[in-house]
C-alpha cells in the first residue's frame, strides 16, 4: 500500500483501498504481482474517488437504468429527494462491491466484471449494481424503505448476497438493455 501511495501521491490513500488490496494479496501471494494488479484496478476505479466526476456519473447512470428497467421501484426511490442520487450505492462503486460480498463471491464478481469490460459491457459494474437493487425490489417496496432503511438493509446484507443470482440478473439486464437499444434503431 505504501508503494502504491508513494507512486500516486496526487491520489494518496483513499478510504477502503486496503479492502480492495486484501483479496488480491490472498490470491497472488506475491507482493510485486499484487501491486501491479492493484495499480490496474485503481486505474479503473480512480474516477470514482472523492473530488472526481466518476462517482456522480455512476450514480446518475444507475438512476437512469433503474428508471428504464423498473419504473415502479424508480418511482418509489425518487419520491423523496433523499434518493435523487442513490447514495446508498456509493460504496458499491467506490470499493468495487468488496464490502458487499464474501471472499468467494468477490473473486467471482471481480473476475466477471474484468472479463465483461472487454467482452460484454465496459459498464458491467452498473448492471451488477442494478441487479443488487432489483434483486431486493419486493423487500424494498413492501417495507417502503427510505434512504436510511436502504443503507441499513444493504449494510445488514453485506456478505450474504447470492452472487450467482446477482451475476445472472446483471447479465440479463445488459441483454435487456441491448435488445431495447436495437429495437429503437
Number of domains within the chain: 2
Domain match, 66 and 46 both: no
> Same structural domain for residues 106 and 142?
yes
Dump pLDDT digits (tens) for 89-127. 999 999 999 999 999 999 999 999 999 988 888 899 999
pLDDT at 80 over 90: no
Distance from C-alpha of 47 to C-alpha of 45, rounded to nearest angstrom: 6
- Count of Cβ atoms closer than 10 Å to residue 100 Cβ: 25
Kindly state the cell numbers that stand for 108: 467471482
Query: In this structure, what CATH number is given to the domain that contains residue 94?
Result: 1.10.472.80
Helix-strand-coil percent breakdown of the chain, rounded to 5?
75, 0, 25
Is the same domain home to 26 and 94? no
Query: Which domain does 140 fall in, by range?
Result: 53-184
Least confident of 22-26, 120-124, 132-136, 165-169: 120-124
Same domain for 42 and 120? no
User: What average pLDDT does the chain have?
Assistant: 92
Q: How far is CA 137 from the centre of its chain?
A: 17
Residue 153 has what pLDDT? 97
CB-based contacts of 144, cutoff 8 Å, min separation 6: 76
Residue 82 pLDDT greater than 70, yes or no: no
Amino acid at each position: 500500500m505504501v508503494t502504491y501511495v508513494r507512486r500516486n501521491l496526487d491520489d494518496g490513500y483513499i478510504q477502503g483501498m486496503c479492502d480492495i488490496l486484501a483479496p488480491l494479496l490472498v490470491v497472488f501471494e506475491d507482493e510485486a504481482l499484487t501491486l501491479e494488479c492493484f495499480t490496474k484496478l485503481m486505474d479503473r476505479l480512480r474516477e470514482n474517488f472523492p473530488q472526481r466526476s466518476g462517482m456522480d456519473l455512476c450514480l446518475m447512470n444507475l438512476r437512469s437504468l433503474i428508471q428504464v428497467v423498473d419504473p415502479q421501484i424508480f418511482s418509489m426511490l425518487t419520491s423523496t429527494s433523499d434518493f435523487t442520487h442513490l447514495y446508498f450505492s456509493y460504496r458499491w462503486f467506490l470499493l468495487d462491491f468488496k464490502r458487499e460480498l464474501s471472499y468467494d463471491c468477490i473473486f467471482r464478481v471481480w473476475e466477471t466484471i474484468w472479463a465483461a469490460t472487454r467482452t460484454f459491457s465496459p459498464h458491467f459494474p452498473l448492471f451488477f449494481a442494478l441487479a443488487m437493487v432489483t434483486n431486493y425490489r419486493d423487500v424494498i417496496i413492501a417495507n417502503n424503505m427510505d434512504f436510511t432503511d436502504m443503507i441499513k438493509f444493504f449494510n445488514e446484507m453485506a456478505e450474504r448476497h447470492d452472487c450467482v443470482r446477482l451475476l445472472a440478473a446483471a447479465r440479463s439486464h445488459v441483454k435487456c438493455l441491448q435488445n431495447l437499444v436495437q429495437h429503437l434503431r
